[in-house]
Amino acid sequence: MKAVINEGCIGCGMCVSTCEEVFRLNDDGLAEVYGEVTAANLDDAKDAESNCPVEVIEVTE
């Protein structure tokens, strides 16, 4: 299971508030993946993928 953030993040923080175990904002204020996608947080990570307003998150099982 893996999460990727493609180009185009606007740093809104939606993914962080949805799945803080996997996503965080870096020093530039943009989202980055820092935690592993696990069975325990997969649903949240998928929600983050679905909620991203610019659709740059990909979560694969």
Partner 1 sequence: METSMFCYQCQETAGCKGCTKVGVCGKPAGTARLQDLLIYATKGLSEVSTKLRAEGKDVPVTLDHYVSVNLFTTITNANFDDDVFNKRIMETLALRDELAAGLTDKSSLLDAATFTVSNATEIEEKAKDSRVGVLATKNEDVRSLRELITYGLKGLAAYMKHANALGFENKDVDVFTQSTLAKLQDDTLSVDDLVALTLETGKFGVDAMATLDTANTTSYGNPEITKVNIGVGGRPGILVSGHDLSDMEELLKQSEGQGIDIYTHGEMLPAHYYPELKKYSHLYGNYGNAWWKQKEEFESFNGPILMTTNCIVPPKGSYKDRIYTTGAAGFPGVKHIKGDNGKVKDFTEIIELAKKCQAPVELEKGEIVGGFAHEQVFALADTVVDAVKSGAIKRFIVMAGCDGRAKSRNYYTEFAEALPKDVVILTAGCAKFRYNKLNLGDINGVPRVLDAGQCNDSYSLALIALKLKEIFGLDDVNKLPIVYNIAWYEQKAVIVLLALLYLGVKDIHLGPTLPAFLSPNVVDVLVKNFGIAGIGTVEDDMKLFNL
Residues engaged in binding partner 1 (CB under 8 A): 10-14, 17-20, 29, 44, 47, 50-51, 53-54
Name which of 58, 45, 57 is nearest 9 in CA terms. 57
How would you class 30 by CB atoms within 10 Å of its CB: exposed for 0-12, middle for 13-18, buried for 19 or more?
middle
Report the SS3 class of residue 36. coil
Smallest separation (angstroms) from partner 1 to the CB of 13: 5
Nearest residue (CB) to partner 1, 2 versus 11: 11
Provide the β-strand partners of residue 33.
Answer: 23
Nearest residue (CB) to partner 1, 26 versus 29: 29
Smallest separation (angstroms) from partner 1 to the CB of 2: 20
